[in-house]
Structure 1
Amino acid sequence: MPVKCCFHRSNAGETMAWSESVDTVLSNKEGLAAFRTFLKSEFSEENVEFWLACEDFKKTKSSTKIALKAQKIYSDFIQADAPKEINIDFHTKNNISQNISEPTLSCFDAAQSSIYCLMAKDSFPRFLRSEVYKELVKKYQDRNQKRWLPFL
């Protein structure tokens, strides 16, 4: 059963609305790059990498590719001593391990939800207070000021 998260997913499209939700950052190329840079500085970029791998996995059509991608995600992020092992509860990890031989497109949903919530509740608020985020906001504010200057 997927973990429920207290953060609501937002459809806010504007870059300056990033502070509203982690979704707005994850869905924006520059926002995602900045968030990854921040997570790398905290030694937790595996979380966003796992989340992105799951998003890509869910779009897979071929059953052969489903099996290959699932095994890659499992070996990279889930199995014990994986190179980018994510921090998920025993039950979720055990459930994935038992079902990885016959993966479905939803086999990582509970783990992805758990990691999403971890990013939303823990990493994201720190990101909003970080220099990486402040510099990005300033960059966008400077861009917008320059764009409107001719009209002043």
Structure 2
Amino acid sequence: MCKGLATLPATCLKSAKDIKHKISFLLQKPEPQTADQKQTKEKTANAAAAKRVPSASEVEKWKESFSHVMSSETGRTVFTSFLQSEFSKENMDFWVACENYKKTDPAKFATRAKKIYQQFVEADAPNEVNLDAATREETRQNVENPCPSCFNEAQKMIYTLMEKDSYRRFLNSKLIKDLCQTQRSATEEKKGKKNCVNRRELTDGA
């Protein structure tokens, strides 16, 4: 057997070694595939949420106040889509992370607080939110002794930023106009069907 391998050209042996090396490499690193699967699941979940068309009354409530948007799961989903179009989705992600943090098991406060701080708060964080220096420093100190309220000031600042800045543009955005148009079309279609039924009933009665 060994003698047979020895008689093979060097290029064949090299190719065989390369293939073996590539197979070993792929077996040792399955993470990219796992990450891709996770991203696919997240995209599927987001797409499913996005397909939930809000009612006319919901959209009208969103136009009344920002608090109505934030208190509605569908409202947050739609508003997040708008933020993403403005490249400021990190604001909502941070706000949601803070809300979830308050519900965290106290035993996990330290780990979770550090993760949120590193992801959103510290300078040059991957998803850094727009905080002033004083709030950023206060949050850093709070994270050293984490408690349920250690992100309160930073979260409040980002909420206000979204309300005073992004929300105003959201109300005038094509996204909201399209939703309103969709609702108007749906209402007109329902009215049309109702009128047809009424006319049919009158005709049958005659």
TM-score range (shorter-chain normalised) is: 0.7 to 0.9
2-side partners of 1:82 and 1:113: how far apart? 19
CA distance in 2 between partners of 1:101 and 1:29 (Å): 32
The CA deviation string for residues 68-92 of structure 1, in whole angstroms up to 9 with x for no partner, is 2211210110011110000111111
**Match for residue 31 of structure 1 among 70, 75, 78:** 75
Identify which range, 107-116 or 139-148, moves more after superposition: 139-148
The gaps in structure 1 that reach 5 residues or longer are: 1-12
The Cα shift of 1:99 comes to 2.2
Aligned residue pair count: 139
CA distance in 2 between partners of 1:103 and 1:57 (Å): 10
Contact 1:15 1:28 in 2 (8 A): no
Secondary structure at 1:113 match in 2 = helix
1:8-40 deviations in whole A, cap 9, x for unaligned? xxxxx8332101111211222332222111111
**CA distance in 2 between partners of 1:67 and 1:15 (Å):** 39
**1:49 and 2:93 matched:** yes
Describe how 1:62-73 pairs up with structure 2 within 5 A. 62-73=105-116
Residue 3 of structure 1: aligned partner: none
Aligned to 1:58: 102
1:83 equivalent to 2:126? Answer: yes
Normalised by the length of structure 2, the TM-score is 0.62
Match of 1:129 among 172, 175, 189: 172
Letter in 1 for 2:133: F
2:60 counterpart (16, 26, 31): 16
**Compared CA separation, residues 64 and 142, structure 1 to 2 (3 A):** farther
Higher helix share: 2
1:67 maps to a residue whose letter is: A
Consecutive unaligned residues of structure 2, counting only runs of 5 or more, are 1-56, 196-206
Go from structure 1 to structure 2 and tell me whether the alpha carbon gap of 1:83 and 1:150 turns closer, same or farther (over 3 Å shift).
Answer: same
Match of 2:161 among 118, 123, 127: 118
SS at match of 2:144: coil
CA contact (8 A) 1:36 1:45 kept: yes
How much does 1:64 deviate?
2.1
Percent identical across equivalent pairs? 43
Judge conservation of contact 1:58–1:105 (CA < 8 Å) in 2. yes
| 2:145 aligned residue | 102
Structure with larger Rg? 2
Q: CA deviation at 1:129?
A: 0.5
- TM-score, length of structure 1 as denominator length: 0.82
